[in-house]
Amino acid sequence: MITQQLAAALTLRKSLFDARHTAAFRLFNGFLEGYPELVIDLYGQTAVIHDYAKSDDETSVVAAREWLTTTMSWLDAILLKRRHGTTDTMRNGQLIYGTQLTRKVQEHGVWYAVDLTMNRDASFYLDTRNLRRWLLDNMAGKSLLNTFAYTGSLGVAAMAAGASQVVQTDLNKRFLNVGKTSHTLNGFPIDKRNFITGDFWSVTKRLNRQNAQFDCVILDPPFFAESAGGRLNLEKDVVRLINKVRPLVKDGGQIVTVNNALYLSGAAYMTALESLCVDGYVAIEGQIDVGLDFVGSSADFITDPTPFNHSTKIAILRINHRS
């Protein structure tokens, strides 16, 4: 049965393939396409199978591997990530086909470095593809602060747009180093001062003391995180996070806020954002939909994301400091 569902998913995504097989996208979203135990992503010539099954039965994984190698003869490797694996190696990924993992992917003409076994995910978030497109279209000549940058793909997109300055900050230096590799792939200069390793709360506090301001700030935090500087929960801390970075935005600038809390409905998220707009200094300017490869063939979400099209909810806020 899984092979029939994979074939149907492939038909929906044919337009996302490129001739050189350098693209990255979600090939099968089992959560929304009738098979919640499996999710399959393509990163260039590597397929990544995310196995969410709690049992040791690998029948579905074996069937998916055989289907992939038969249908896509150009694949160099298949990586299996077991979400409920008992070791970091099992969770971060083990090769089950081939020997050479993809090291870079191309999207909208921009190269991004990937390290597919660095973490439980695959170092490059596919659900923010349309946000990277928005940055390419809107960041020319502007300054950007990318908080919770992870491997910096959003900042790289802004660099490709011709941004005047891009500052990327994350708690993990190893993640930011992947972003530096992406800079190198595209011939962008690397200014180490623009890659800040540190806790979100302490870094934003320091930037505020320095009176730093940016045309755009991106807030894309993990669902739940805790550090010496503070604790956050995306279901509860929407307003708190936005208010933390508002002083860092120039008058008339923007905050792009990303919230992927699965159980936070789109309506509840909008209510939180609208509460910021009461005094007239914040306005909801728009939203960015997630690519259809993530939405899949069903709209059967655990929590209704409307007016967004996916639980990854991306909103654009306009910030004013003067009425």
Encode pLDDT of 5-25 as tens digits: 999 999 999 999 999 999 999
**Residue 300 binned pLDDT confidence (cut-offs 50, 70, 90):** confident
More confident residue, 35 or 154: 154
241 DSSP β-pair partners: none
Shared domain for 9 and 145, answered yes or no, is: no
User: Is the pLDDT reported for residue 92 higher than 70?
Assistant: yes
Q: Output the domain CATH number for residue 46.
A: 3.30.750.80
**Rg of the chain taking only CA atoms, in angstroms:** 20
Q: Report the pLDDT value the prediction gives residue 1, as an integer from 0 to 100.
A: 77
Shared domain for 76 and 192, answered yes or no, is: no
Shared domain for 30 and 83, answered yes or no, is: yes
CA 31, 150, 81, 68 torsion-angle sign: positive
Peptide bond into 307 cis (omega under 30): yes
Can you tell me the distance from the alpha carbon of 43 to that of 82, in angstroms, rounded to the nearest whole number? 18
Shared domain for 143 and 56, answered yes or no, is: no
Shared domain for 178 and 254, answered yes or no, is: yes
Shared domain for 152 and 266, answered yes or no, is: yes
Is residue 256 one of the residues assigned to a domain?
A: yes
Encode pLDDT of 207-249 as tens digits: 999 999 999 999 999 865 655 555 666 667 889 999 999 999 9
Can you tell me the distance from the alpha carbon of 3 to that of 9, in angstroms, rounded to the nearest whole number? 10
Shared domain for 216 and 310, answered yes or no, is: yes
pTM above 0.75, yes or no: yes
Task: Give Cα 257 to chain centroid, integer Å.
Answer: 12
Average model confidence (pLDDT) across the chain: 93
Q: Report the pLDDT value the prediction gives residue 34, as an integer from 0 to 100.
A: 87
Shared domain for 135 and 36, answered yes or no, is: no
Picking from 50, 69, 102, the residue at the C-terminal end of a domain is 102
Can you tell me the distance from the alpha carbon of 219 to that of 150, in angstroms, rounded to the nearest whole number? 11
Average confidence (pLDDT) over 159-165: 98
Shared domain for 158 and 267, answered yes or no, is: yes
Print burial letters for 124-137: b (CB count within 10 Å at least 16), e (below 16).
bbbbbbebbebbbe
User: Is the pLDDT reported for residue 55 higher than 90?
Assistant: no
Is residue 164 one of the residues assigned to a domain?
A: yes
Strand 38-43 and strand 313-319: the pairing is unpaired
Number of domains in the chain: 2
Picking from 39, 71, 102, the residue at the C-terminal end of a domain is 102
**Residue 54 binned pLDDT confidence (cut-offs 50, 70, 90):** confident
Shared domain for 92 and 132, answered yes or no, is: no
User: Is the pLDDT reported for residue 60 higher than 80?
Assistant: yes
Picking from 71, 102, 133, the residue at the C-terminal end of a domain is 102
250 vs 42, 160, 193, CA distance in Å? 38, 22, 20
CB 249 within 8 A of CB 322: no
Shared domain for 197 and 62, answered yes or no, is: no
Q: Report the pLDDT value the prediction gives residue 234, as an integer from 0 to 100.
A: 63
Can you tell me the distance from the alpha carbon of 287 to that of 6, in angstroms, rounded to the nearest whole number? 30
Is residue 20 one of the residues assigned to a domain?
A: yes
Q: Output the domain CATH number for residue 185.
A: 3.40.50.150
Is residue 201 one of the residues assigned to a domain?
A: yes
Is residue 118 one of the residues assigned to a domain?
A: no
Is residue 284 one of the residues assigned to a domain?
A: yes
Is residue 253 one of the residues assigned to a domain?
A: yes
Shared domain for 68 and 196, answered yes or no, is: no
Is residue 302 one of the residues assigned to a domain?
A: yes
Domain of 27, in residue numbers: 2-102
CB 179 within 8 A of CB 198: no
